[in-house]
Amino acid sequence: MVLPAIFRRTGDVASRAVRFNGAPLAIGAIVVALHIGGCASSAPPRADDATIQQRWEKHRDTLAQLARWQLTGRVAVRTADDGWSASIHWVQEGDDGYAIEFSGPFGQGVAAVRAASGVVTIELPDRPIAAAADAETLLAHELGWTVPVSALRYWILGMPAPDVAADTELDNNGLLVTLSQSGWRAEFHRYRPVDGIPLPAKVTLTRDEVRLRFVIDTWHAIAADPGERHGPG
């Protein structure tokens, strides 16, 4: 799949050395020490493991109720042979229905993976639409690499896929920091509240030489059972 790659380079920032005489330097050192001490004392204490686990289980149960949602953002993919980045719009309809659309700058290089009624299709620029029974087989055939889309539907929410062994690391709020499952490692760098639910804002997935980095700009049209939730990210 050929999509325009976007790379931004940042230059070195020059630094300046400023000389102080003894008294101002000593005062500055005291101010810095007081600031560091204040920051250290304001950090919340680490909760005990049982409390963190309870927070996680409550959050996980909330996520498990989310049946339909949408996100928009950006994704960067790197493999052993290629790399590209694109905008992403993902619409999830229950466990098995979804549409994931990718587009390059100014709408160029549009591609999409869709699933409905047990059939998965992929649309790539200048290629006929291809179909298969599952996304993993389809991606491997069309792109030469694959990602477990059926599990990604859960990972992107910040939870493991059900009924599969997983290793997790939790923060003080009971949110995932890292997840290892099905040979993949997910790192959750940042969350944002969406209608009172913390959802990932930045996620990195890696396996061997494949890396996917998601930056999620908005979550919206969140729906849960029972009832519905609506909240822009």
Domain ranges of the chain: 49-224
- Of residues 134 and 222, the one with the higher pLDDT is 134
Model confidence at 4: pLDDT above 60: no
Specify the pLDDT at position 95: 86
**The whole model's pTM is what?**
0.77
Best CA proximity match to 118, nearest among 97, 93, 92:
97
How far is it, in rounded angstroms, from Cα 143 to Cα 140?
A: 6
The correct answer on CATH 2.50.20.10 for the domain covering 49-224 is yes
Banded model confidence at residue 42, pLDDT cuts 50, 70, 90: low
pLDDT digits (tens, 9 = 90+) for 108-127: 778 999 999 899 999 998 88
Q: Which helix (H) or strand (E) holds 212?
A: strand 210-224
Model confidence at 70: pLDDT above 60: yes
Model confidence at 216: pLDDT above 90: yes
Q: Across the strands, what pairs with 116?
A: 119
pLDDT digits (tens, 9 = 90+) for 170-184: 999 999 999 999 999
Model confidence at 231: pLDDT above 50: no
Specify the pLDDT at position 16: 37
How far is it, in rounded angstroms, from Cα 52 to Cα 56?
A: 6
- Return left, alpha or beta for 23; rule: phi > 0 is left, psi -120 to 50 is alpha, else beta: alpha
